[in-house]
Structure 1
Amino acid sequence: MGAASNRFALIEAVRGLAALLVVFSHTMPKEGWFYTYVFDPGKIGVVVFFFISGYLVIPSAARDRSAKRFLTKRLFRLYPLYWVSLVLAFAVWPSELAPLDWMANITMAQQLFGFENAIDVYWTLTIEVVLYLVITAFLVLAPSMLTQRFPLVLGSLGAVCLAAAVARWGLQTKIPVAVPLGLFCMFTGAQMRFLRNAGRSIIRPVLFYLAIAIPTCWIAYSFSTGFDETSSRYIITYIVGGLIFLAILQKPDIDLGRPVRALGDWSFGVYLLHMLFATTLVSWIDKGWTLFAVTLVLSIAISAPLYYLLERPAAAFGRSLFRKHPA
């Protein structure tokens, strides 16, 4: 591993472990009091994903200072493999969605326009798209929001989280609190990186994160909208996810070994594709360790070659477009 890669060795590897949590969540039976009120491994993995995404993406965009460069790099990083997963989803269950829903899914922003996701896990990518739109707006209109005025952005996101939670509770309806909460995790992760790079303490963003995430989850998820939401489970999810990320930051350059690094490389594919296998196989294999193992093996078997043949070359091509013409 090169010096640049080694800086984030543990962070990159933990993406693979977070993907494992998501696969575990979709292939194991989740019944009883413990799963309802305490433990949600899939969402813990997603929260870790959000923190890592913000930690890596936002400072990179602030450094590039170019909306065109930023969007091009993200387009070639995410969309090629995403489109492959969409094609495979259509091949597996072509009649699952209406034609307009399938077409909207090409954008990765289908939920913003009221269309259904082709694969359930796409909901997190909608939040990723919102992040890119926010970053692009800042780069075009107010670049200082990603540098000198970053605490203002973080504080505003915290206020939006609380306001959305209160509105959801007051109206007793499914207001998507997960969107501002996801963005809040991402921008908190970025703020921690900015402070660490400056040699400053990260205790303030940690405390602010807890001060926003806990009451937001307590208020917003105090009633269910059909997904068995409970305040305690969401509070624990966001606390544990944040603590995992905080632990990673203590030694971000620790190398867990080549297999775990490889799983981190393949994590996006595993995340996108595992539901295709899990949903199909559950007709023959009951939820449990066998379904988890078979789903994981099949997901890796597809994701690994796609990473080397498509995902990595596409990302490299996106970066190469700007090497001769830096921002």
Structure 2
Amino acid sequence: MKVFIRIIVVILTFAFLLNCSTEKTLDFKNQTYDDLVLKAEKQLLIKEFDSANTYFNGAFSLKSKMLAFDMNNALVLTIKTKDWNQALIWSERLAKKGVSLPYFKKNSFKTFHETEQWEQFIGAFESYRSYFENHSDKEMTDSLEILMDIDQQAYCLLPSKKIDLSNVFDKTVFLDSLLSRLINNKGFPYEEKVGVIVFDDSLISPVIKFHGLYRHSYQANSNLVKSILSDAVENGDLKKALYENSLIGDNMDYALVDCKIYESKFAKQSSIENFFKEKLIFQNSSDTDFKFYAPLSIFSFDSESHSDNMMSMYSFICDYKNCKEEN
């Protein structure tokens, strides 16, 4: 009888664990990539690193072409928790997106450099680099760089008044038609095709390559690529927050003025807006290698009166950590 009871207990326990595991898997399947990354970021802010790691891995299980900006936080997390095998995995994934070796050699990854997994990574790095070169689309990258150069030349002439804004927009609409045709023929230029923006060999940008082309398309009131960008968000190739607040919108809820960050008194009181505020405060009030995207408009003023008028609509929230004082 006792044996029978023990068997029942074991069966019930196993059934309970199986049910929990299934529910977690189903929970991931019922959420989007953005949902899981958002949850991972929230866990990072409260230092619940195990949960954050679970959500990052869940995001990757939904989308193997995970965005490099999000992979950066996943990698930083594994280095912080000394999970060297997982650090090797995230490093490999980033290298296969074309992220160069100096990014991995930065001082904040020093503890990783002292492990056998780092030696494995260094030994295989050239194969990762070859993987990116073999899977990237050089023809598409070259075409986008040409369009970007023409676009920038036009916009750079605006301050000199050698060209009118209307003429710039006309040129943008023309470039937009070429951009739309290129993407329709070759697909969206996601990171595996064109690579990743890395600042100073250390900071992976949340902004996708050739961001200016998409942004200027919106400013010129062209709708040719808007549906393409919307599909990219749906497929997880573009961050939804970046699309809504930077590419097709002008979110001025948070402003950077004279090395201080302010919040608009008219900012929407939604959960996502509140989270933007949390991320800005965390990012600028602590010494951290985690990076978070939040829309931040940068302002400078020609006169004190303009500054006073504008700042009357904003409230101070924190200092800007990366402010560089001019001599």
TM-score (normalizing by structure 2) = 0.34
Bigger Cα Rg: 2
Structure having the higher strand fraction is 2
Structure having the higher helix fraction is 1
TM-score (normalizing by structure 1) = 0.34
Bigger RCO of structures 1 and 2 (CA < 8 A, at least 6 apart): 1
